[in-house]
Amino acid sequence: MEKKLWKASAKGKGENKPNISVLSILKILLVMYMVTGALLLILSAMLYKMQLSESVVSIGIVLIYVLSGFTGGFLSGKVMKQKRFLWGMTMGACYFLILVLGSVVFQKGINMDLSRFATTLVLCTASGMTGGMAS
């Protein structure tokens, strides 16, 4: 009798739980960085062939941040099904944190001013949120 009561009360609670794990998050982050790598290769080839100006390269890097964030948000929204915008925003923020950690490790510090740092954070999280909402 006690088991039946527990099963009946637990039956409705677990149905709407999100179906995401740490492994799913890591896979989505891996896809985000694969997209980043592929787009950076394309941008570097364009830089080599066309001798792009610094401003064009900066715009290309911003577009890469946005496309990678959107991809991560979209994929996390497809996995989550609920609160997709929040999960997309979280994936964008995780992407940004890994970028910052990589910058600190490889450059032994952060070589950008605070306004550019904040802008990059907003771009990554907002594009992730937009991807989550679009999923």
**CA triple 96-35-126, angle to 5 deg:** 40
Instruction: Measure the N-to-C terminal CA separation of the chain; round to a whole number of Å.
Output: 43
* Whole-structure pTM value: 0.80
Asked if the structure places residue 112 within a domain, the reply is: yes
Q: Mean pLDDT, the chain, as a whole number?
A: 85
**CA triple 73-33-41, angle to 5 deg:** 125
Asked if the structure places residue 122 within a domain, the reply is: yes
2-44, pLDDT tens digit by residue?
444 444 444 445 555 555 688 989 999 999 999 999 999 999 9
Round to whole Å and give the CA distance between 29 and 73: 10
The dihedral through the CA atoms of 40, 43, 47, 53 has a sign that is: negative
Asked if the structure places residue 13 within a domain, the reply is: no
Q: How many domains would you assign to the chain? A: 1
Predicted confidence at residue 110, as pLDDT, reads 73
Enclosing domain of residue 126:
22-134
Asked if the structure places residue 9 within a domain, the reply is: no
48-60, pLDDT tens digit by residue?
999 888 899 999 9
Round to whole Å and give the CA distance between 96 and 23: 19
Query: Is pLDDT of 112 > 80?
Result: no
In the chain, pLDDT over 70 holds for what percent of residues? 85
Asked if the structure places residue 14 within a domain, the reply is: no
Which amino acid would we find at residue 70? F
Predicted confidence at residue 105, as pLDDT, reads 87
Predicted confidence at residue 4, as pLDDT, reads 47
Predicted confidence at residue 5, as pLDDT, reads 42
Q: Which two tokens stand for residue 63?
A: 């577009």
